[in-house]
Amino acid sequence: MNLFMSKTKSQKNANQSSILSIDNLRVKLFADGADKTGMIEMAAKPFIKGLTTNPTLMRKAGITDYRSFALDVLKDIPNKPISFEVFSDDFTEMERQAIQISSWGKNVYVKIPITNTQHQSACELVRKLSKLGIKLNVTALMTLEQVREVAASLEPTVPSYISVFAGRIADTGKDPVPMMREAVQLIGNCTKTELIWASPRELLNVFHADSVGCHIITATNDILKKLDLIGQDLDEYSLDTVKMFYKDAKAAGFSI
């Protein structure tokens, strides 16, 4: 009986490892954040292929000088793609900011939101900037129609990203996997355009993105640090969890 259980457990672990392995991933991992130390830490890892940030993350990190922060980060991360976002609500000012941001480095992608706060489409601006040869990351998309419109607005010879916020779609109770699979098909002929699975909520989303053929997934450092758990024996992980509860109860001095 023990031998049978041992073989079963061994087979289970082997199957799990063959399915869940960072070495088998085709999707590229991008680190999402605004803490310079964390960004440099992640950029140093060979499996991190790029980085992204946004005004919300920068505000949470206490950044007050946008330009100085970006240029400081780019000094330490000159060779991996990094996306910085415009922050105006006016398309003329967005254009000026985009041109300025793109001049900061050859590895810079400029994030343009799919609309402004008045729900006016940014596709005309995307078309104009892409024709100038500016590498764009069109962000905050949540519908297939938006994917179609953006894909049609991008220059086919200029590298670009389309960021679909799959995590936020999931927050509404909708399964983002079928939509992301279709989005991959929609941009299939755009050889210089890559689809980003943005705002993941858990590590499993990395494997979801990989399974549908998504090119990139962005994730915060908290999620990326869970990569060490991939393939972990679930019996051992269960025991570790029990030990954690016991240790914390003891440390709190609970009694009944």
Residue ranges covered by each domain of the chain: 22-230
What local confidence, expressed as pLDDT, does residue 11 receive? 52
Provide Rg for the chain, Cα atoms.
Answer: 21
Q: Nearest to residue 202, comparing CAs of 233, 161, 170?
A: 170
Tell me the two tokens of residue 9: 């457990």
Beta bridge partners of 83: 52, 109
Residues 6+ apart with CB under 8 A from 197: 27, 164, 166, 176, 180, 205, 208, 209, 214, 216, 217, 218
Beta bridge partners of 108: 82
CATH 3.20.20.70 matches 22-230 = yes
Q: How long, in residues, is the chain?
A: 256
What local confidence, expressed as pLDDT, does residue 19 receive? 55
Q: pLDDT tens, position by position, for the chain (256 residues)?
A: 444 344 455 455 544 444 567 778 999 999 999 999 999 999 999 999 999 999 999 999 999 999 999 999 999 999 999 999 999 999 999 999 999 999 999 999 999 999 999 999 999 999 999 999 999 999 999 999 999 999 999 999 999 999 999 999 999 999 999 999 999 999 999 999 999 999 999 999 999 999 999 999 999 999 998 999 998 999 999 999 999 999 999 999 999 9
With vertex at residue 137, the alpha carbon angle to CA 171 and CA 180, rounded to the nearest 5 degrees, is: 40
What local confidence, expressed as pLDDT, does residue 23 receive? 79
Tell me the two tokens of residue 246: 């016991």
Residues 6+ apart with CB under 8 A from 43: 31, 51, 76, 77, 80
